[in-house]
Amino acid sequence: MAFIADALARVKPSATIAITQKARDLKNQGRDIISLSVGEPDFDTPDHIKAAGIAAIQRGETKYTPVLGINPLREAIVRKFKRENGLDYKVGQTIVGTGAKHILFNTFLATLNPGDEVIIPAPYWVSYPDQVLLCGGTPVFVQTHMAKGFKLQAEDLERAITKKTKWIVLNSPSNPSGAAYTHAELKAVTDVLMRHPHVWVLTDDMYEHLVYGDFVYTTPAQVEPGLMDRTLTLNGVSKAYAMTGWRIGYAAGPESLIKALDLLQGQQTSGTCSIAQWAAVEALDGPQDHLPIFKAAFQERRDLVVSMLNQANFLECPMPEGAFYVYPSCAQALGRKAPSGKVIATDEDFVAELLDAEGVAVVQGTAFGSGPNFRISYAASTAVLEDACMKIQRFCSSLK
């Protein structure tokens, strides 16, 4: 009898973590490596947020916290949703978790039965389908296309919905493509969902504040209030506040779902780190002065990377609306020979040969369910990005 649970055979390791670790290993071996594989802001946590964490320690806020989160943070979450999204939630409709990934996993664990289907537009964040599989559900992938901005089309969603559909996962701006839905684009999707009242919406809004130019951000329950009673709106402080290591995610949704998550989390991790929660209160309620600075830097980097990649042979890179990723196509590079002599047959080959030849680590699109593409995180300095893009250009010029 096998000791390891059968469920683990249904999932694979995170490709983004695997590539990042490979880059670290090569660096430790003395190679000059530029890693653009990790989705983490290169900025430090703003000082006023760090100060709030320190003050919490000094006040002795170091004891167990309620499973659903401390009241001051849950109240701050209610204010945030009202202020920024026009959504009216009560404190009893909110939950705090150890990162948004924690809440996402628990949501699937609390709601999925064998045979339940979860619609996931591709390309998708690598953890969505594996979490669904671990929790006994069935991921149903709906391909999006570069020509349509990597955005889910209403008619494709309509075709994917069945009697077994329980959730659709929406992520705008998207990891990995950076695509963000306009109000009209989101309305086309929510109109379909209004015709299927058995389908719930899990919207991952983690990159909400990282949209560029004159783009106006909206979230599904804001666009279609009729979805409010079957939408879980998921967010966190990791990206917009450069607090990845603090591990604070939060969500709001129907009280019945929050109670189920409370029950599950109470037997699993209990309350989230007390100090990190107090820092998150300051993140949501305190000064937001850093956001325009972050956005301006990311927009400048986005424009640089898109321009340089589009100057490379055999690459086509669309301009994303948000997040800090680009998702170029390397379709024209397939069938060509790399400097090693290997013929590039897949985007995985392209990524491996790029790392070997030029020491630039990116993530293959097939890991996100859609290729032949690759993902670059531009959460790095302008100098590093220029260097990386020049190396990518050189690598592409070397393909025969």
Render pLDDT for 238-264 as a digit per residue (tens, 0 to 9): 999 999 999 999 999 999 999 999 999
Q: Is the domain of 72 the same as that of 188?
A: yes
For residue 165, which of 125, 112, 119 has the smallest C-alpha distance? 119
**Residue 180 region, left (φ>0) first, then alpha (ψ -120 to 50), else beta?**
beta
The distance from CA 10 to its chain's CA centroid, rounded to whole angstroms, is 21
- Once rounded to an integer, what is the mean pLDDT over residues 324-350? 97
Kindly report, residue by residue over 259-276, the tens digit of the pLDDT.
999 999 999 999 999 999
224 CB neighbour count, 10 Å cutoff: 18
Q: Is the domain of 296 the same as that of 317?
A: yes
In angstroms, the Cα distances linking 227 to 171, 200, 259 are 16, 8, 19
Assigned domain for 298 exists: yes
Q: Among 285, 301, 329, where does a domain finish?
A: 285
| Non-local CB neighbours of 231 within 8 Å, separated by 6+ positions | 200, 201, 202, 203, 220, 221, 253
Q: What is the CATH number of the domain that holds 341?
A: 3.90.1150.10
| Non-local CB neighbours of 184 within 8 Å, separated by 6+ positions | none
Kindly report, residue by residue over 360-385, the tens digit of the pLDDT.
999 999 999 999 999 999 999 999 99
Assigned domain for 131 exists: yes
Q: Is the domain of 298 the same as that of 267?
A: no
Kindly report, residue by residue over 83-123, the tens digit of the pLDDT.
999 999 999 999 999 999 999 999 999 999 999 999 999 99
Assigned domain for 121 exists: yes
Q: What total number of domains does the chain contain?
A: 2
Assigned domain for 91 exists: yes
The one-letter amino acid code at 269 reads T
Q: Is the domain of 20 the same as that of 158?
A: no
Cross-strand partners of 325: 377
Q: Is the domain of 163 the same as that of 64?
A: yes
Domain with 88, as residue range(s), is 60-285
Q: Is the domain of 348 the same as that of 279?
A: no
Distance CA 380, CA 43 (A): 9
For residue 391, which of 309, 290, 288, 271 has the smallest C-alpha distance? 309
User: What are the b/e assignments for 96-107, b being 16+ CB within 10 Å?
Assistant: bbbbbbbbbbbb
Distance CA 237, CA 249 (A): 7
Kindly report, residue by residue over 5-31, the tens digit of the pLDDT.
988 888 877 777 777 788 888 888 989
Q: Is the domain of 298 the same as that of 270?
A: no
State percent of the chain over pLDDT 70.
Answer: 100
Contact in structure between 217 and 181 (CB atoms under 8 Å): no
Assigned domain for 52 exists: no
The pLDDT of residue 38 is 83
SS3 10: helix
Q: Is the domain of 294 the same as that of 280?
A: no
Assigned domain for 211 exists: yes
User: What are the b/e assignments for 197-218, b being 16+ CB within 10 Å?
Assistant: eebbbbbbbbbbbbbbeeeebb
Assigned domain for 49 exists: no
> What rounded mean pLDDT belongs to the chain?
96
Q: Is the domain of 68 the same as that of 126?
A: yes
Helices assigned H by DSSP within the chain: 15-28, 47-58, 71-85, 100-111, 127-134, 154-160, 183-194, 220-223, 255-266, 274-285, 290-310, 347-358, 382-398
The beta-carbon contacts of 46-49 under 8 Å, at least 24 apart in sequence, are 46/241, 46/242, 46/283, 46/287, 46/289, 46/290, 48/282, 48/286, 48/287, 49/241, 49/243, 49/279, 49/282, 49/283, 49/286
pLDDT of residue 158 exceeding 90, the answer is yes
Assigned domain for 345 exists: yes
Q: Is the domain of 203 the same as that of 328?
A: no
For residue 326, which of 212, 179, 184 has the smallest C-alpha distance? 179
Q: Among 285, 317, 343, where does a domain finish?
A: 285
Q: Is the domain of 234 the same as that of 357?
A: no
Prediction pTM value: 0.96
Q: What is the CATH number of the domain that holds 263?
A: 3.40.640.10
Q: Among 228, 263, 285, where does a domain finish?
A: 285
Q: Is the domain of 324 the same as that of 218?
A: no
